[in-house]
Amino acid sequence: MAKRIGIIGARGYVGSELIRLLAAHPQFELAFVSSRERAGQRLSDHEAGYAGDLVYVSYGPDEAAAQGVDALVLALPNGKAAPFVAALDAVAPDTVAIDLSADYRFDDGWYYGLPELTRSSYSGQRRISNPGCYATAMQLAIAPMRDALEGAVQCFGVSGYSGAGTTPSDKNDPDKLRDNLMPYALTGHVHEREVSRQLGHPVEFMPHVAPHFRGLTITANLHLASEFTREDVVARYRERYADEPLVRVADAAPWVSAIANAHHVDIGGFTLSEDGRRLVVVSTEDNLLKGAATQALQNLNLAFGFDETAGIPL
């Protein structure tokens, strides 16, 4: 029997991507999609990849928790998840909750769902926090060298404006972004704190928004405690991700234009300083997919014991 999934915040970019993935999944079915703005409208009128007869609903926390779904995905802005989690805890504690916001990424009671790095710590938890988009790219770029690091890692990031969501702001205004690169939150960004916590090592992150819609790139500057050759470095990355279909390691630096609509992360461009103790690595991903919806599907698959890449186009 298919597992029934509900989505709260289904109107946003990530919710839309997840709807398409779930609609094509062999073992999941959409139970409901909730959006205050679209309540009563047919889902198929907004999502071309969906052929069913669902209409958008507008469920509050108690209504959502009472639907008897196997999993509830919270695709909400930061700071909005807690009432839905509290309602699940009260009446449906066994329902899997996948939170796509930052609200529970610092909560040790939740499984932090970056499967390529954390699946060994999954032991049936019903509360799963999806990592941030930038945080995913940064951690995957840094993790293979974690034991060799000396000093803070610096990461320069550029994302398409879909990362700023659908609520109008300077960061998702195409007119203001045209021919522009907009820096923001240059210290203390939530993804900076998230990555530093998860890796147990200081990471300094400088994010920017660009005029393109989707896809992000980070350039990571790693100081190393001992000398490495490029061959040693590339071998580390290839070995670490040899069995990870959603992480691809290449010699050349990946281009963000090539990652749009792809479900994996590209890592490459390995460049060492003359003394072999400074390494620069480039990582790209689609911020709406592996940075959000695709990773949520990985975590749903993991939670229900399915193949982790089930329903994910490889």
How many helical (H) and strand (E) elements, i.e. helices and strands, does the chain have?
9, 13
The two three-digit tokens of residue 140, written as one number:
């995957």
The two three-digit tokens of residue 214, written as one number:
């989707």
Q: Which of 8, 82, 2, 17 is nearest to 49 (CA)?
A: 17
Q: Distance between CA atoms of 82 and 65, rounded to whole angstroms?
A: 13
Contacts of 111 (CB under 8 A, 6+ apart): 118, 121, 122, 125, 127, 128, 129
Sheet of 203-209, strand order: 182-183, 203-209, 153-159, 216-223, 278-285, 265-272, 247-249
Of the listed 7, 14, 133, 303, which one is catalytic?
A: 133
Does the annotation count 155 as an active-site position? Answer: no
Q: Percentage helix, strand, coil, to 5, in the chain?
A: 30, 25, 45
The two three-digit tokens of residue 158, written as one number:
């550029």
Give strand pairing partners of 44. Answer: none
Report the catalytic residues: 133
